[in-house]
Amino acid sequence: MNPINEPKFKDKDFLINHIQSVMDFYHPSCIDSKNGGFYQHFKDDGTIYDSKTKHLVSSTRFVFNYSMASIHLKNDEYYDFVKHGVDFLREFHLNKETGAYSWILENNEVKDSTNYCYGFAFVLLAYSVAFKAGLQEAKEYIEETYQLMEEYFWEEDFSLYSDEISNDWNVVSTYRGQNANMHSCEALIAAYEVTNEKKYIDRALLIAESICIRQAEKADGLIWEHYDSNWEVDWTFNKDKPDDLFRPWGFQVGHLTEWSKLLLILERHVNKDWLLPRAIELFEDAVEMGWDEKNQGLFYGFAPNGDICDRDKYFWVQAETFAAAAILANRTKVDKYWDWYERIWKFSWENMIDHKYGAWFRILDSKNNKYDKLKSPAGKTDYHTMGACYEALNTIK
C-alpha cells in the first residue's frame, strides 16, 4: 500500500473508525440467536466455518468487545448483546453447582470441562466491562468470580494463581504459568476501575510484582512463561511447541510489551516507583529482541540464548506493543515511543489488516505472508486489536 494513503495513526477519529471497522466484520454475523452466545470461527471473508464449537475465551472476549463498543461507539444495539453474551456464560459455560466454567462447548454440550485460570481471568474481565457498560447484575458476578479464583486458584505462598484444575476442583495440575496471571492482573485492574474496591487493585499489584520482579529474577530480568508447582522455571515445557496457542515455548515478545502496558495502567492507580522503570525495561527488551529489521513487524518468540525461536508475526503481538508504546510515549514524553507506535501501525496497516473484508489477519510468516484463510479460530475475536486502540485513545489529546 502506498504510504501516501496511510491514515494518521495518532488521530482519534482514525482509531474510532478502525474499531468500528473491526466490529463491522463480526457484527451482526457473530450473533447466534438460535443457541445463544456467539459464533466464533470465521474465514477471512467472514464465512463461518464452525457453528458448533464455543470456547470460553472467545465467549468472554465477545462480551468485552460489545461492552467497550457500546461505550465508545455510542451504540445502544451493541449493549443488547452484552447481556446476550453474559447470559450465555451463565447458562452454558457456568456449572451453577460447582462454580466451574467449561473450557469448550460443542452444540452447547460440555466438550472440555477443565477449569483454567486463564479462562476465569477472562470471565472476570467480561463481567467487569459488562458492568462498566451498564449491566447492573454483572457487579455481583465480579465478586463471585473473584471469590472462586481466591478459593481454588490462589496460592498464598507464592502470591500467584495456579493454572489448571479438574472440573470437580479436586486435581490441581503441577503446571504453573505466567500467562494466566498476567490476564488475571488485567481483569483485576478492570474490576477495580468499575467497583473502586481496593482488594482488586491490591491483588493486581501483588501479581505484577511477583511476575515482573521475583519471577523475572530467575530469567535474567525477562519473563519466562512456564514453571513447576514451586514456581521454579521450567525451561523445557513445550520446547517442541514454540507456537502452542496458549502455552508457547520461549520468551514471548508480546507478553513483555503486554506487561509493560499493564504496569503503566497500574501506575495510574498506585504509587510505586518501580512500575515505570520496569515497564520501560520490558518494552525495550521486547522491541530489541523481537523487531524484524528485514521485513518489519515483531516476531513471536525468542529462546533463552536470544535466537528467534518463532519467526511468525501474530496480530496480537503488534497490537499490544503499539498500545504499550502509546502509553509509554504519553507517560514519559519521549518521542521514540511515538516512533515505535507509528512504525508498528505502519507495518500492521500494510500487512496485518484486511482492507477488503475487515479485521486483522491472525498470523503471518516471517516474510509477511498468510498461512491460511482462517481469520478467527478459537480465542481470536480481535479483542487485542480493539483493546489496543482503546488504550491509544486514552493517550491521544
**Active-site residue, selected from the candidate residues 55, 84, 226, 384:** 384
Q: Is residue 258 part of a domain?
A: yes
Q: Is residue 37 part of a domain?
A: yes
Which amino acid would we find at residue 194? V
Which SS3 state, helix, strand or coil, does residue 300 take?
coil
Q: Could you write out the three-class secondary structure of 325-340?
A: HHHHHHHHCCHHHHHH
Residue 246's contacts (CB-CB under 8 Å, 6 or more residues apart) are: 118, 179, 379
Burial class (CB in 10 A: 0-12, 13-18, 19+), 357: middle
Residue 42's contacts (CB-CB under 8 Å, 6 or more residues apart) are: 25, 26, 29, 30, 48, 49, 374, 375, 376
**Active-site residue, selected from the candidate residues 41, 55, 226, 255:** 255
Q: Which domain holds residue 222?
A: 7-395
Q: Is residue 2 part of a domain?
A: no
As for how many domains the chain has, the answer is: 1
Model confidence at 285, pLDDT cuts 50, 70, 90, reads very high
Query: 255 catalytic, yes or no?
Result: yes
Spacing of C-alpha 391 from chain mean position:
13
Residue 109's contacts (CB-CB under 8 Å, 6 or more residues apart) are: none
Q: Is residue 203 part of a domain?
A: yes
Average pLDDT along the chain: 97
Q: Which three cell numbers stand for residue 236?
A: 523445557
pLDDT in tens, 104-143: 999 999 999 999 999 999 999 999 999 999 999 999 999 9
CA atoms within a 13 Å half-sphere pointing along the CA-CB vector of 101? 27
Query: 384 catalytic, yes or no?
Result: yes
Q: Is residue 194 part of a domain?
A: yes
CATH code of the domain in which 270 resides: 1.50.10.10
Residue 4 has pLDDT above 60, yes or no: no
Q: Is residue 18 part of a domain?
A: yes
Model confidence at 2, pLDDT cuts 50, 70, 90, reads very low
Name the maximum alpha-carbon separation found in the chain. Answer: 59
Q: Which three cell numbers stand for residue 2?
A: 502506498
Q: Is residue 1 part of a domain?
A: no
Q: Is residue 327 part of a domain?
A: yes
